[in-house]
Structure formats: structure tokens, C-alpha cells
């Protein structure tokens, strides 16, 4: 009989910020080149998505969702304080609101 090691469920990391709708496409491109690329190139990253939602008032919410094999994999990307959001140099030019903290969930 073959035995399989029990694996922990993936960890889902979620962050959101808000940009002016006129900046949505430029910021989405920027996040793809920076944060999303960094997510996807970190060992233990399973996948990642960039989501946008127009709020209808000239602002657009940007949400990143990534799945990770473990908290250790997230630490390799984010550092010891995995709940601290990771920002890049041009974020300040685009973001009008931002989550400073990241939420983590266990995938059921």
C-alpha cells in the first residue's frame, strides 16, 4: 500500500488598493511587472491573479490574490512580517488608498 504525505492546504494572500480609474491600466501593467512577477518567480507560489473593479466614482479597486504552498514560501517573498504589504517605488504615484496589511486565508 502506498502512503502519501499529508500536505497542508495552500495559503491565499490578498491585498487591495485603490487608484484613479484613469490610471487603472497603467497601474495594472506596473503591478504585473513588479509584484505579480515577484510572486510568480518565488518558489512555493502556486499562482497569482490581478483583479480590478471600477467603483463608479472615478476610482478603481485593485486586488492581488496569490496562492502559496506554505507560510514559509510567503516569508521568502514578503520577509519576516508576512502581514506587512510589499510596495514598489512607483506605487505612491498611483495609489490613492491602500491596505498596509495583507490578509491570509487557508484554502479549504
Question: Which region among 1-10, 33-42, 57-66 has the lowest average model confidence (pLDDT)?
Answer: 1-10
- Residue 33 sits at φ, ψ, to 5 deg, of -75, -25
Instruction: Report how many domains make up the chain.
Output: 1
Per-residue pLDDT reduced to its tens digit, 90-107: 999 999 999 999 999 999
Domain assignment present for 4: no
Q: Is residue 79 part of a domain?
A: yes
Encode pLDDT of 49-78 as tens digits: 999 999 999 999 999 999 999 999 999 999
Nearest to 8 by CA among 52, 71, 57: 71
Q: What is the mean pLDDT of the chain?
A: 94
Report pTM.
Answer: 0.90
- Residue ranges making up the domain that contains 61: 11-106
Beta-carbon contacts of 73 under 8 Å, excluding residues fewer than 6 positions away, are: 11, 42, 43, 44, 45
Q: Judge whether 39 lies within some domain.
A: yes
Task: Show the beta-strand stretches assigned E in 9-102.
Answer: 11-20, 45-54, 59-68, 95-98
Tell me the CA distances in angstroms from 13 to 7, 50, 56, 74, one per residue in order. 18, 12, 26, 8
Residue 89 lies in a domain: yes
Residue 18 within a domain: yes
Domain with residue 70: its CATH number is 3.30.70.100
In this prediction, residue 8 has a pLDDT band, given cuts at 50, 70 and 90, of: confident
* CA gap 96, 30 in Å, rounded: 15
Amino acid at each position: 500500500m502506498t502512503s502519501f504525505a499529508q500536505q497542508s492546504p495552500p495559503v491565499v494572500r490578498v491585498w487591495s488598493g485603490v487608484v484613479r480609474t484613469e490610471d487603472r491600466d497603467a497601474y495594472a501593467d506596473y503591478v504585473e511587472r513588479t509584484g505579480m512577477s515577484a510572486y510568480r518567480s518565488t518558489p512555493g507560489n502556486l499562482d497569482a491573479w490581478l483583479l480590478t473593479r471600477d467603483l463608479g466614482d472615478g476610482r478603481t479597486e485593485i486586488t492581488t490574490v496569490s496562492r502559496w504552498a506554505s507560510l514559509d514560501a510567503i516569508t521568502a517573498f514578503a520577509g519576516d512580517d508576512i502581514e506587512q504589504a510589499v510596495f514598489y517605488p512607483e506605487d505612491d504615484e498611483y495609489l490613492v488608498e491602500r491596505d498596509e496589511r495583507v490578509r491570509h486565508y487557508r484554502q479549504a
